Amino acid sequence: MSKKIYELIIIGAGPAGITAAVYAARKKLDFLIISKDIGGQAAWSGDIENYTGYQFISGPELTLKFNEHISAFGIDVIMPEQAKGIEKQEKLIKVVSDKSLYLANAVIVATGKRPRMLNVEGELEFKNKGVTYCAICDGPLFRNKPVAVIGGGNSALDAVLQMMKISPKVYLININAGLSADSIMKEKVKQADNVEILHNAVVERISGAAFVEAIDVKQNDARKHLNVAGVFVEIGLVPKSDFAGILARKEKQEIVVDCFNKTNVEGIFASGDVTNVPEKQIIIACGEGAKACLSACSYLSTHWI
């Protein structure tokens, strides 16, 4: 257990957490960042064309820029470390991680989201053996091999855009009648000769021997057996808020915040995709991280000497 009491603890080092950290450094706060990694969901992204200042940048490249930015301020990130609980002890806030325990006057939760699972037969058995949740991370492993991407939103089409460049055949399995991704992404995918889109389709089973070899798909009333070596699950994300039981959360487990990023617990703020703020975008998460830190600074100046 660390006996030191920090002014601020930031949980998470994705776009929201990194931006909050930059603002905290500029405010000369005595703070700590706890995170599993740097970049969060941004690190999984492929081509990013809507982040102000960059006409085009990849997720890994933007993550490198984030890392360079906090390094310039001499900010240390305690990782890999994950928060397991938050408690309020009178005015102090206790953060329990999988490795230690920390105390702070204020906390910003910026833990983002994690991939949603399909929950079908074979998914757990073949996880990391052909089933993956990150195209940018694992895509190159399936070069010259047929793959399936599950989903119909931006993350799914982002995976398709990456894989259609290196895979001879990409199946896009979409549960809905149409794609919900940005129009420009849909146009690019529809123009590809090696992409086959199956609408109104669901995966029923993932099978293979040591590694994934096929998936069984139900499309309307028909069933298909598709031979693939990789399955990219891109059906949405779940807020990483399980550890924050003392905070009010919505039905989707998003942490409830007001326009100042305040939660229902005094001294605890939240920002980014883990919250109920609409539109989950990298640039929005960055703005929310800045707001959360400014609100935390205001709280510290009025509640602590």
What residues are labeled active site? 134, 137-138
Task: Look at residue 153 and give its three-state secondary structure.
Answer: coil
Q: Which residue has the tokens 């329990």?
A: 96
- 3-state secondary structure at position 121: strand
Contact predicate 270/293, CB 8 Å: no
Using DSSP bridges, classify how beta strands 195-198 and 170-173 pair: parallel, antiparallel or unpaired.
Answer: parallel
Consecutive H or E run containing 191:
none
- Count helices and strands in the chain by DSSP H and E runs: 6, 19
Q: Which of 113, 200, 192 is nearest to 152 (CA)?
A: 200
Q: In terms of Cα–Cα distance, which of 28, 30, 34 is closest to 10?
A: 34
Non-local CB neighbours of 177 within 8 Å, separated by 6+ positions: 199, 200
DSSP per-residue string spanning 2-65: ---EEEEEEE--SHHHHHHHHHHHHTT--EEEE-SSSSGGGGG--EE--BTTBSSEEHHHHHHH
Distances (CA, A) of 213 to 37, 43, 122, 201, 272: 31, 28, 11, 19, 37
- Phi, psi angles (nearest 5°) of residue 168: -70, -25
